């Protein structure tokens, strides 16, 4: 079984939302974007055998995880200090075949480092959006020019990678 793990709010802020600050501003807006992401992933999974999508969100979802989940798409809310990143890392470490996992996130810190070091593949949010593009209904669709801009690493991402990797080499 292949598993696609999604850092939920990271994907919403960097891939679905036209205005990330507004998208994270109220619980109602966050709920709408969570539902949109789940719908997109269910559509993506339709007709694909052997794929499970696991979407992780920070915080609590007011009991909405079971209502959003189905056989192919599972939704989780990381409680307390654990956070979505740590929940994803914990699952990856416990899963017997980590090379069967892909993680979608633009988090180049702890999550990105762990995934690049121990798991099959990390997908940028832009890569995930390209996979979903033909199936997107799109309230927050980006134009082709905007998607092309997302493909290159930002200076901040490059700097973060360059700072994180050497420190990990000497552990």
Distance from the first to the final alpha carbon of the chain: 33
What's the confidence (pLDDT) of residue 10? 93
Q: What mean pLDDT value characterizes the chain?
A: 79
Q: Of the candidates 1, 14, 15, 13, which has an alpha carbon nearest to the alpha carbon of residue 102?
A: 1
pLDDT band at residue 130 using 50, 70 and 90 as cut-offs = very high
Q: How many residues does the chain have?
A: 171
pLDDT for 33-56, tens place per residue? 999 999 999 999 987 889 999 999
Q: Of the candidates 46, 9, 3, 13, which has an alpha carbon nearest to the alpha carbon of residue 142?
A: 13
pLDDT for 64-94, tens place per residue? 688 888 889 999 998 776 789 989 998 998 9
Q: In this structure, what token pair is assigned to residue 142?
A: 């980006």
Q: Which domain holds residue 61?
A: 2-169
Please tell me the total count of domains within the chain.
1
Q: In this structure, what token pair is assigned to residue 42?
A: 């269910």
CATH number of the structural domain spanning residue 63: 3.40.50
């Amino acid at each position: 079984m292949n598993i696609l793990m999604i850092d939920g709010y990271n994907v919403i802020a960097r891939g679905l939302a036209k205005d990330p600050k507004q998208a994270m501003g109220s619980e109602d807006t966050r709920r709408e974007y969570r539902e949109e992401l789940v719908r997109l992933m269910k559509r993506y999974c339709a007709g694909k055998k052997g794929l499970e999508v696991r979407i992780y969100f920070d915080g609590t979802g007011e009991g909405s995880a079971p209502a959003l989940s189905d056989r192919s798409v599972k939704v989780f809310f990381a409680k307390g200090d654990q956070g979505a990143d740590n929940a994803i890392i914990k699952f990856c470490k416990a899963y017997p075949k980590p090379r069967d996992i892909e993680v979608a996130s633009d988090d180049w810190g702890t999550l990105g480092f762990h995934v690049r070091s121990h798991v099959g593949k990390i997908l940028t949010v832009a890569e995930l959006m390209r996979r979903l593009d033909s199936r997107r209904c799109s309230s927050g669709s980006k134009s082709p020019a905007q998607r092309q801009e997302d493909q290159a690493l930002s200076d901040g991402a490059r700097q973060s990678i360059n700072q994180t990797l050497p420190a990990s080499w000497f552990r």
